[in-house]
Structure 1
Amino acid sequence: MKTRFSTAVAVLWTLTLPAQATTGAVLIVANEDYQSIRDARGAAGIVQAERNFDAAGFSVDIATDLSANALRAALSNLSQQLRSGADERVVIAYAGYTVSSPQGVWLMGTEARAPDFATIEGFGVRLETLLALAGQVQGGAVIALADYGFPENARDGFRGGLPPGITVPQGVTLVRGPAREINGFLRDLSAPGTNIGTAVAGYSNLVLEGFNPPHLSFLPADHAAAPPVDRSGADRTAWALAADANTVEGYDAYLADWPNGLYAQQATSARQSLLNTPERIEQALGLTRDERRAIQRDLTILNFDPRGIDGIFGRGTRAAVSAWQGANRFAQTSFLTRDQIFELAQQGARRAAQLEEEARARAAEQERQDRAYWRDTGSGTDEVGMRAYLERFPDGVFSNIAQERLDRIEADRRAAAQARDRAAWDQAAQADTRDSYQRYLNDFPRGAFAEQARGRIEELRRPNRPDADLAAAEAEEAAMSLPQFTRVIIEQRLSRLGLEPGAEDGNFDRETRRAIRRYQRRADLPVTGFLTQPIVARLLADGVLDILR
């Protein structure tokens, strides 16, 4: 007898024992249509195995798009059937998302989201449950898992997909791998005379764990086939299942079973149409993580913000790709072709070179003004001039020289100042207000620090002119969590540009911050001393250009 469990139904259904002996029991679960996460495309193709097991005399039940509770109900009913002892063989096949942790493995229901330890039991069914159920038919139990991993980032110790190794009970065989090869294995398994280990060995990506008898067939070679069936009817049923799934895997399964079927041409055409979708075309390129990062850098340089340069194409990157495609009169699919990637890379390289040239021109003009002002203010021989220079060019070409000389002047003054004069100045400098410096001048009009006091009063009279919100800039840089090797590359690039970042060790010290401020002035950007995502992209792109030269 065969019972079908309809899509997304969570109603308990009851299996009645077959009126006549069957070869065994088969439960096929295909979870493709998930409610809150991306669909497991192609999982429904596993139901194609129904026809083969049905023809071999098995009692077959199909369950599609089950919640965790509905999956438990399906397993409970299978358990009731196996307790009768009438079934000498059992096959449990599952296609869909899985997650694992050191605490176990779970097959995910269609209501699943990224789990934690408080929600996992509500989202999935433990694999141990299937293994224990199959253990009721030792020596004739097979569990086949078409593992789709999990489409969202794992957390709290979970990972997407099955673990490297699974402990399987005695007398139970577990076979796992990609959906297409699992479908082929199930087709082979239903044929008389098939040895499980030999069947698995015929597929490069299948893994067998547990019971693997070397000379025992799952079905005897002389197993009597089911009575002849209406082949055109079976063909139509297989085609209906493939057309309903409308996936490459589903059409592949149909064509594997019916290479000359009534609908073979339609299946081939539909399969090709799916392969030609923008998503499939990009997927076929097999882009590496580094290549995806390069695409995100190019988009950033061209002012199409992907919201991160991490090699992960999320919503931000897809929106940026779509916007770039629209600006370049491409169809806005949000997925890239090979030619588009080349065009994007060329545009990114041209823009990076343009930005570098603009930066060089600004740097040359800034250096000219810097040197001229240094000359006009006494070339470091006049204290007032050096303070004026540092006010205008705090990170200028001669800023180190000016600061060192002013430090020596300060040290000389302190050494020569009387104790009372020095104490009064320290008190005024600690308060750092116009009144405190004025009190110092009232008491020491010709004191050793009178010139500094007057200069500081003048500075405090001027309104603050911050270049940018430093706290926000610091927070933005911290949020990027730049790896150590990236920070070293940035310091190397700043050094090649002559901006003197100090040691190239990835430690952003005072010298590095000054070099960043110099770069920001050169690039006509807000001057903060902290990095932003566009600046990182430009520096990394500039570094690539240096290598190419």
Structure 2
Amino acid sequence: MTLKRTLASVTLAAVACMPMRAAAADLALILANGDYTTRPDTSTEGAGALADALRGAGWTVFYAEEADAEEMQALARKLRDRLGSDGAGNDRVIIALSGRYANNGRDSWLMARTRRAPDAFNVGAHGLPVAPMADLAAMAPGQAVMIIGLPGETDESEIGPGLSAGIARMTLPQGVTLIEGPLQQIGTWVGDALLDPGLTLNGALAALPKDARARGFRSDAVHFAADAGAASRAGEIAYWSAARDIGGDAGYAAYLSRYPQGIFAKEARAALEKTPAAKPPSPEELAQERETALGLTRAQRRAVQQNLDLLAYNPKGIDGVFGPGTRTALTAWQKAQGYTPNGYLTQTQIAELQRQADVRTAELARERELARQEREKADRAYWQSLGRTEADMSAYLDRYPEGLFAKEAKDSLGRFTAQREEEARRKMEKDWRAAEDAATIKAYQAFINAHPESRHVEQARARIATLRGEVPANPPLERAERQVVPNRTAALLVEQLLETKGYGPGPVDGTFDNRTRQAIARFQEAGGLPKTGYMDQRSMLALTLRQ
């Protein structure tokens, strides 16, 4: 199908969607909502005046002020139904919205007046979506003006989580002119300039108030004000929109061929003069386009990177993103296989890469199995060459810490260790008995030197202290003594009892010195109690009962 036939088909389809009628309709939708709070309302100023001006000019106006979401949506549907039934191809449409807006960064809503702050999940129940209103306006391409009345201030506290106050920038459909600014000033401009039959659309836009701005459809040829040629222009505007959508010299040339004196002829010729001659795509660009057409998912790209890495072509990361490292690895692989080394894949190359990776995977599995068999063979041979001594078991574990016989070697070492510890314990007990039998300072000191970690060391030191006439400090015994001799009064009582019983504790002054300790030790020894030189519960009970 030729480009002209394509454009004609698109135009025919567009016009076919616009059932014709005897007379064009001038349709307006004006929605004005105030502030969420009780602050003075400035956002809807001018809405009523604009509605009255349009009605006075013969327009059909759908108007609501302070409407809820359902009411706004109902009026939007009424406009849609009128456009569909009356023939949008001949219509002029003005859609004016004013009030408070909320957006999520992509879509925007005109909010109904409410004291509740909408959030990202319920905003649709509290407002009217803005983008579909632009789509409604697009049913009258080249004859559609959308007005966004901006409030003087925005309060983020009126908007819930997931939303921001204000309106997000949206992509306009073809043929729609968007005006943003104070509604009161724009309303005056509509009556003074936009509806002036003597002004083109661009002429009217040039007269916009300084606080307003425009974007979207513009033309030096189209008059927004009604004229006798409005119906015949619908097909040309649709054809022009299709030509611009297709783009390029061919689209503009096709428009000029059909409408050499058309309302957009000057703009089309200017575009043709500015458009540089198209260059044919380079081989690399073609290769890139072919790969893009494959539509590889991120998982498929990771698989390609894994296969390259498996084949020793380092992609510098396996992340599903084809960066410089992956492109370099692909180029090297393609060169080795005889492909054009451009770094971009084809379906055939992906299949070949996978086949080679499968082969390499099988090779590596065989290599691992052979290596395992060799390791086990050497493991068994070494085990069989060893004896079963402690040194042999340690040597085996040094070489094969996770070997076939590691558990057996560890168990053997455990038995050797247990045997050695038992022998050491028996010798220690034997030496202790010998020291006790000798009961000399030299014997006890020799035991301490030979067995510094023995459980009898503290007892041996106590024996030495006793033999020297000293009672050594002993924190555990001191703590136990404080339980039964908590103060000086109790200490005086102990000293008095020891003095009465003839153990000679020294001065009875409530202070336990070395003579007091020796007296306590003599008392304990005489009573068959543990001879520590420190009072405890048993010693205190015996001392107080034997008066």
Compute the TM-score of the two structures, normalised by the length of structure 2: 0.35
Considering only CA atoms, is the larger Rg found in Structure 1 or Structure 2?
2
Compute the TM-score of the two structures, normalised by the length of structure 1: 0.35
